[in-house]
Amino acid sequence: MSRTRTALLAAMALVAGATGTAFAVDPGGAEVAAVPCTVDYKIQNQWSTGFTAAVTVTNNSAAKSSWSLKWSYAGNQKVTSGWNAKLSQSGAAVTAANESYNAQLATGGSVSFGFQGSYSGSNAIPATFTLDGVTCNVDSGGPGGPTDPPDPGGPANRVNNPYDGAKVYVNPEWSAKAAAEPGGSRIANQPTGVWLDRIAAVNGSGDKMGLRAHLDEALRQKGSGELVVQLVIYNLPGRDCAALASNGELKADEIDRYRTEYIDPIKAILADSKYSSLRIVTTVEIDSLPNLVTNTGSRPTATPQCDVMKANGNYIKGVGYALNKLGDVPNVYNYVDAGHHGWIGWDDNFAPSATLFKEAASAEGATVNDVHGFITNTANYSALKEDHFSINDNVAGKSVRESNWVDWNRYVDELSFAQAFRNQLVSAGFPSGIGMLIDTSRNGWGGTARPTGPGAQTTVDTYVDGGRYDRRINPGNWCNQSGAGLGERPQAGPAAGIDAYVWMKPPGESDGASKEIPNPEGKGFDRMCDPTYEGNPRNGNNPSGALADAPLSGHWFSAQFRQLMQNAYPPLS
């Protein structure tokens, strides 16, 4: 049963003695003074050493422009983190003060916040609460006492692989667009990620569904079984410092806005007990941390914007804050973006990336235990498995690593990279149970251009180029790639160390505009999305390979979607 009760015990002992005092009637009929405030303190989930709680304060007195709620614990409970209030603790005494965005508390109005705590022994609900020094109701825990277990169905412990035995949420907005394309009904029922790529996406804007609307729809789809909801957390300050097409709304120094206007509201929604039966998978800030490794300092790929983000630390702080806050919600599974093999697979990127990820996972109160795993190839095109050559092959006296395509990389495809990088992450200090996700939404590379065997062994380049599935001009090409196809359909546990193949990037959503398009979304024009561009050091100064006439990133690109279906591998039936 729920461990909660909103009572009038203290108020019923107060008999009004002054003109103008409002009265209430107790169940026995006696008049008592109306309480100036009520507090509903509810323990949502509890396990052997910790718990999460939700608190709702209702103000029955004059309107307030700020507020402060206080209580004391009888035991050794400690508040470890919170959301929607500034929480502090001294000994047994706890204070919860308003944030800037919820300071106003009208007469009859309510405000809610939550927190995670630790304890040992008993976990009694506090006996007394005061709002700005005035005593509110007493909550004694209700029938069954304060040590009742959490409600059935409220997950107190995460499962090893959230995708095991679970359906995955089908985004109805994407599904409708897919179904509207010729032949699109063949894949319109596939699960895709929900991208929270700006503050307005949390509550929804215009005709777009907000986070609560998606979670409510997920509950409908769930039925009596298990269901995974996939969210992309993607709104860092100075976002995507090396790719203008996906720049965001927050400036490089707006880390406080990221915390209070973006992550905190997301956490408050995810922590709602209404959604506790869902398995919520987050992909945390794609392309952010790898940029700090490869695109800073004296490297030829460095950009001034990435140097700024490395110097101010806001990528590290933002990712750490997101992991800490979202990791407090017991049914959230955080997967950190880890680039792809054509980015992180080189010797000078591989181990340093794992070290940097550990730094981010230890920032802003986060720990490595807030990370359930990592995701690779998000919104990218790297082939899942190259069958016709391996990194160990030698042709005409040269290693495959010496080919122009591989260019001394240690990995030739995404599966081998993800499995190896998982081991590196464990060596860097992450738990041995972490799992990997691979985004296979656009890496099928099927159709008539798909090789059926190895290339000619004339040279190492003819061997690799003739046999590789990935038909990009260069593995650094990332924008709306010509010739790409849908990859493996989403599935759980497809290979050792891999939790799932997922479609985190919704197929048919553009990577960026092929020409400059003024917009209110903060998205710039990146020449890598221009099909006439001849490249830069990040793609070996090769042509971009991008499709023409592309819209802004995230907007529907019908021509790309039709190409992805045509070139799907496995093929669509």
Active-site residue list: 287, 511
Distance of CA 185 to the CA centre of its chain: 28
Measure the CA–CA gap between 87 and 534, rounded to whole angstroms. 53
- Which residue type is seen at 141? G
Instruction: Taking the CA atoms of 542, 547, 551 and 553 in sequence, report the sign of the dihedral they define.
Output: negative
Distance of CA 182 to the CA centre of its chain: 32
The H or E element spanning position 178 is helix 172-180
- Which residue type is seen at 343? W
Measure the CA–CA gap between 25 and 20, rounded to whole angstroms. 16
Measure the CA–CA gap between 514 and 241, rounded to whole angstroms. 19
Cβ burial of 207 (10 Å; 0-12, 13-18, 19+) is: exposed
- What residues contact 94, with CB distance under 8 A and at least 6 apart? 70, 71, 72, 73, 79, 87, 88
Q: Please list, residue by residue across 448-474, b when 16 or more beta carbons sit within 10 angstroms of its beta carbon and e when fewer do.
A: eebbeebbeeebbbbbbbbbbbbbbbb
3-state secondary structure at position 80: strand
Q: What is the DSSP string of 444-495?
A: ---GGGS-SSPPPTTSHHHHHHHH-S---SSTT--SSBTT----SPPEEEEE
- Which residue type is seen at 36? P
CA dihedral 294, 297, 298, 299 (to 10 degrees): 10
Strands in 348-446 per DSSP E: 373-376, 394-395, 398-399, 435-439
Measure the CA–CA gap between 322 and 549, rounded to whole angstroms. 35
Backbone phi, psi, residue 130, to 5°? -125, 135
Asked if 341 contacts 414 with a C-beta cutoff of 8 angstroms, the reply is: yes
Q: Are β-strands 279-284 and 394-395 bridged in parallel, bridged antiparallel, or unpaired?
A: unpaired
CA distances from 558 to 515, 563, 568 (A): 17, 9, 15
Distance of CA 28 to the CA centre of its chain: 52
Neighbours of 106 (CB within 10 A): 11
